[in-house]
């Protein structure tokens, strides 16, 4: 920021560089700030904290699959593979 430009603008508007501060009034005000959180927001916050606390990887499933791979007992039906291929092909846009 150029200081000389600020000074020129200040002179145009005949303003001073003095900062006015707000004064505190004595006594209480009849108005006050209030924050209300809706029930939907509270539910969302609870759900979000539960998701954040959950593990990203379900190790019980991973270990079961590793054991099946190691024992060579993991088997996927050809119908399931075909169904997935068809479902993925339907979502593609050419």
- The size of the chain, in residues, is 94
Domain that holds residue 94: 39-94
- The answer to the question of residue 7 being in a domain is no
- The whole-angstrom separation of Cα 63 and Cα 59 is 6
- The answer to the question of residue 28 being in a domain is no
- The answer to the question of residue 56 being in a domain is yes
- The answer to the question of residue 49 being in a domain is yes
- The whole-angstrom separation of Cα 8 and Cα 10 is 5
Predicted confidence at residue 54, as pLDDT, reads 82
Query: pLDDT 10s digit of each residue in the chain, 94 long?
Result: 455 555 665 665 565 445 566 666 666 667 788 888 888 888 989 999 888 888 888 899 999 999 999 999 999 999 999 999 999 988 886 6
The tally of domains found in the chain comes to 1
Tokens of residue 70, six digits: 């190691």
- The answer to the question of residue 51 being in a domain is yes
pTM of the model: 0.35
- The answer to the question of residue 48 being in a domain is yes
C-alpha distance from residue 36 to each of 9, 32, 39, 63, 68 (Å): 43, 13, 10, 46, 53
Predicted confidence at residue 1, as pLDDT, reads 46
- The answer to the question of residue 88 being in a domain is yes
- The answer to the question of residue 68 being in a domain is yes
């Amino acid at each position: 920021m150029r200081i000389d430009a600020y000074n020129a603008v200040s002179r145009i508007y005949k303003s001073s560089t003095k900062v006015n501060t707000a004064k505190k009034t004595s006594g209480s005000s009849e108005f006050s700030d209030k924050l209300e959180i809706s029930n939907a927001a509270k539910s969302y916050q609870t759900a979000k904290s539960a998701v954040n606390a959950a593990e990203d990887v379900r190790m019980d499933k991973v270990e079961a699959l590793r054991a099946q791979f190691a024992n060579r007992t993991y088997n996927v039906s050809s119908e399931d593979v075909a169904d997935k291929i068809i479902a993925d092909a339907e979502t593609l846009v050419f």
